[in-house]
Amino acid sequence: MAEATQLPPRATTSSRGSYFGGLLAWLGVLPFFLFAILFLVWPSSSLIVGSFQDTAGNWTLKNIADLFTPSIVNSYVLSIQISAVTAIGGALFGFLLAYAAILGGLPRWVRTALMTLCGVASNFAGVPLAFAFIATLGRTGFLTAFLVDVFGINVYQMGFNLYNFWGLALTYMYFQFPLMVLIMAPALDGLKREWREASENMGANAWQYWRYVALPILLPSLLGATILLFGNAFGAYATAYALTGGFLTLITIVIGQQIAGNVLYNPNLGYALALGMIVIMVISIALYTWLQGRTARWLR
Amino acid sequence: MRKINFWAWFWVILGGLYFFLPLYGTLDFSLREQRGVLSLLAYQNVLNDPRFRDSFTYSALMAVATIVVGMLLIVPTAYWVHLRLPQARPIVEFITLMPFVVPAVVLVFGFIRIYSGPPLALTDTAATANMLLMFGYIVISLPYTYRSVDTGLRAIDVRTLTEAAQSLGAGWFTILFRIIFPNLRVALLSGAFLTFAIVIGEFTLSNLLARPAFGPYMVLLGQDRAYEPAALSIMSFALTWAAIGLIQLLGRGAPEQRQLGGVH
**Has residue A4 got a pLDDT over 60?**
no
Phi, psi of A53, deg, nearest 5 = -125, 155
Question: What does the pLDDT look like over B187-239, one tens digit per residue?
Answer: 898 889 889 989 998 999 999 999 999 999 999 998 888 889 999 999 999 98
Question: What does the pLDDT look like over B36-48, one tens digit per residue?
Answer: 888 899 999 999 9
Q: Are B196 and B55 in contact (CB under 8 A)?
A: no
pLDDT of residue A297: 65
Nearby residues of A20 by Cβ (< 8 Å), 6 or more positions away: none
Residue B202 contacts A, CB cutoff 8 Å: yes
* Least confident range of A77-86, A132-141, A183-192: A183-192
Query: Mean of the pLDDT values across residues A162-183?
Result: 93
Residue ranges of alpha helices (H) inside chain B are 2-30, 41-48, 50-83, 89-101, 104-115, 126-155, 158-167, 172-174, 181-183, 185-200, 204-208, 214-224, 227-251
pLDDT of residue B241: 87
Question: What does the pLDDT look like over B225-241, one tens digit per residue?
Answer: 888 999 999 999 998 88
pLDDT of residue A2: 38
Give B172 or A87, the one with higher predicted confidence: A87
Question: What does the pLDDT look like over B115-169, one tens digit per residue?
Answer: 988 788 888 889 999 999 999 999 999 998 998 899 889 888 888 999 999 999 9
* CA distance, residue A86 to nearest chain B CA (Å): 14
Instruction: Mark yes or no for CB contact A97/B12 under 8 Å.
Output: yes
The interface predicted TM-score of the complex, written ipTM, equals 0.87
* Cα distances (angstroms) measured from residue A290 to each of A283, B87, B214: 11, 22, 39
Residue B8 contacts A, CB cutoff 8 Å: yes
Confidence tier at A279 by pLDDT (50, 70, 90): very high
From the list A122, A142, A237, which residue is nearest B261 (CB)? Answer: A122
Say which CATH topology domain B41-263 has: MetI-like fold (1.10.3720)
pTM of the model: 0.88
Instruction: Mark yes or no for CB contact B25/A129 under 8 Å.
Output: no
pLDDT of residue B253: 54
Query: Mean of the pLDDT values across residues A81-90?
Result: 96
pLDDT of residue A59: 93
